[in-house]
C-alpha cells in the first residue's frame, strides 16, 4: 500500500558557470521571466497577482521551471485550468480562516510566500507518493494537481491538509513547541513508521505512521489533522481507537495529551485561539465541499 508523504527539506542550489562570449555575457541585459524567458501576462497571471501577490505577498508559480521543481524526479507541469481553482481552495479554506482568527499581519509574515504547483505526484525512493514539500518555510510545492478532483471532499481535504502540515513545520521552526510534546511518546518514535498501519500508529498514540518517524512530523501531522477536521470529527477518530485492555487506551490518552499541548502552544506562542481556528477551517472546508 502506498503511503502519502508531506516532506520538509532544505534545498541546496548549485550554480554552474559556463563560458560565453562577451556579447552573451552583457550584464546590462534585463532578465525577464523564469530562466530569462519572456512571458506575456495572461488573465491567469493577473488574477493570481490581484488575489494573492498584491494582498498577501504570495507568488504562485505554475509554469515549468526545473530549477524549482527538481532535476531528480520525472514530473509533469500543471494544467493552467487547475491553477486558480487550487489557489482559491487555499484562499478560502486556509488563508481566510487564519486571517480572521490570527490577523492579516500573521498571514503576511508567516504563511509561506511561494507556491509551486506541479501537475503530477512525486515519488519517494520506496515508492511512496509525495503530496507536498516545503523549503525552509518559504516555498511550498503542491504535487498532483492535474489528478486531484477539486470538487470532491477528498481532493479539497488533501490540498488543505498539505498546507496545514507545511505551515505547522514553519511555526515550530520559528517558535519550538514545548518539550512536553515529545515526552508524551518518548521511546515510541520509529524511523520506519511509514511501514506501520494507521490503526497501529493510533494505538501507539500517533495520528499516522508518518507521524511516528520524528517528533516534528508527529507535531505537523497532528496539527494538520486537527485543522482538516472539526473537533467532533477529530474526537470521533480518537474514540474509534480500540482499548489496549479493559479501561486502558494508551493511544487515545497520548493523543489527547498532545492535542492539549498544541492548543496551549498556539495560544501562548502565537496568540491564536486554536478551537476558534479549527471551527473556521472546518466551516470553510464544508463550504468548499458543498
Compare 71 and 249 and report the one with higher pLDDT.
249
What integer pLDDT is reported at residue 242 of this predicted model?
A: 94
Question: Quick one: average pLDDT of 210-238?
Answer: 96
Split at pLDDT 50, 70, 90, the class of 15 is very low
How much is the pLDDT for 169?
92
> Residue 26 has what pLDDT?
54
Q: In this predicted model, which residue has the larger pLDDT, 101 or 66?
A: 101
Pick the more confident residue, 65 or 219.
Answer: 219
Mean pLDDT across the chain, nearest whole number?
Answer: 85
Share of the chain above pLDDT 70, in %: 80
Tell me, what's the pLDDT at 76?
A: 85
* pLDDT range class, residue 5, cuts 50, 70, 90: low
- Note whether 89 and 228 are within 8 A (CB): no
Instruction: Please compute the mean of the pLDDT values over residues 147-158 and round it to a whole number.
Output: 90
The rounded radius of gyration (Å) of the Cα atoms in the chain is 21
Q: What is the mean pLDDT of residues 24-39?
A: 52
Alpha helices, H only, the chain: 43-48, 54-56, 66-69, 80-90, 96-102, 104-110, 153-174, 179-184, 198-203, 215-227, 231-239, 250-270, 274-289
- Within 10 angstroms of residue 201's Cβ, the number of other Cβ atoms is 22
The sign of the CA dihedral 123, 124, 128, 134 is negative
The band of 138, judged by pLDDT with boundaries at 50, 70 and 90, is confident
pLDDT in tens, 70-81: 655 678 889 999
pLDDT above 80 for 25? no
Q: What is the pLDDT of residue 40?
A: 83
- Domain 4-9+41-289 -> CATH class: alpha beta
- Mean pLDDT is highest, among 9-23, 52-66, 151-165, 224-238, for 224-238
Is the per-residue pLDDT at 253 higher than 70?
yes
Domain ranges of the chain: 4-9+41-289
**pLDDT at residue 12, rounded to an integer:** 34
Amino acid at each position: 500500500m502506498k503511503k502519502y508523504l508531506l516532506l520538509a527539506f532544505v534545498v541546496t542550489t548549485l550554480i554552474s558557470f559556463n563560458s560565453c562570449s562577451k556579447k552573451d555575457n552583457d550584464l546590462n541585459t534585463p532578465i525577464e521571466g523564469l530562466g530569462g524567458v519572456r512571458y506575456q501576462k495572461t488573465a491567469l497571471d493577473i488574477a493570481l497577482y490581484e488575489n494573492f501577490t498584491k494582498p498577501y505577498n504570495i507568488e504562485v508559480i505554475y509554469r515549468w521551471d526545473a530549477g524549482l521543481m527538481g532535476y531528480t524526479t520525472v514530473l509533469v507541469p500543471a494544467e493552467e485550468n487547475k491553477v486558480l481553482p487550487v489557489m482559491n481552495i487555499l484562499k478560502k479554506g486556509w488563508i481566510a480562516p487564519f486571517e480572521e482568527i490570527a490577523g492579516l499581519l500573521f498571514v503576511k509574515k508567516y504563511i509561506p510566500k511561494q507556491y509551486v504547483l506541479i501537475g503530477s505526484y512525486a515519488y519517494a525512493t520506496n515508492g511512496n507518493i509525495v503530496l507536498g514539500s516545503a523549503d525552509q518555510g518559504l516555498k511550498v510545492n503542491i504535487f498532483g494537481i492535474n489528478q486531484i478532483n477539486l470538487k470532491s471532499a477528498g481532493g479539497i481535504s488533501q490540498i488543505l491538509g498539505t498546507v496545514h502540515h507545511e505551515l505547522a513545520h514553519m511555526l515550530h521552526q520559528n517558535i519550538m513547541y514545548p518539550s512536553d510534546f515529545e515526552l508524551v511518546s518518548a521511546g515510541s518514535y520509529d524511523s520506519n513508521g511509514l511501514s506501520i498501519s494507521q490503526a497501529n500508529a493510533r494505538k501507539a498514540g500517533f495520528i499516522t505512521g508518518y507521524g511516528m518517524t520524528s517528533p516534528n512530523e508527529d507535531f505537523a501531522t497532528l496539527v494538520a489533522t486537527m485543522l482538516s477536521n472539526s473537533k467532533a470529527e477529530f474526537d470521533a477518530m480518537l474514540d474509534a481507537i480500540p482499548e489496549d485492555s479493559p479501561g486502558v487506551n494508551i493511544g487515545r490518552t497520548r493523543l489527547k495529551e498532545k492535542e492539549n499541548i498544541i492548543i496551549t502552544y498556539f495560544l501562548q506562542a502565537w496568540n491564536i485561539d486554536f478551537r476558534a481556528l479549527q471551527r473556521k477551517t472546518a466551516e470553510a472546508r464544508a463550504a468548499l465541499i458543498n
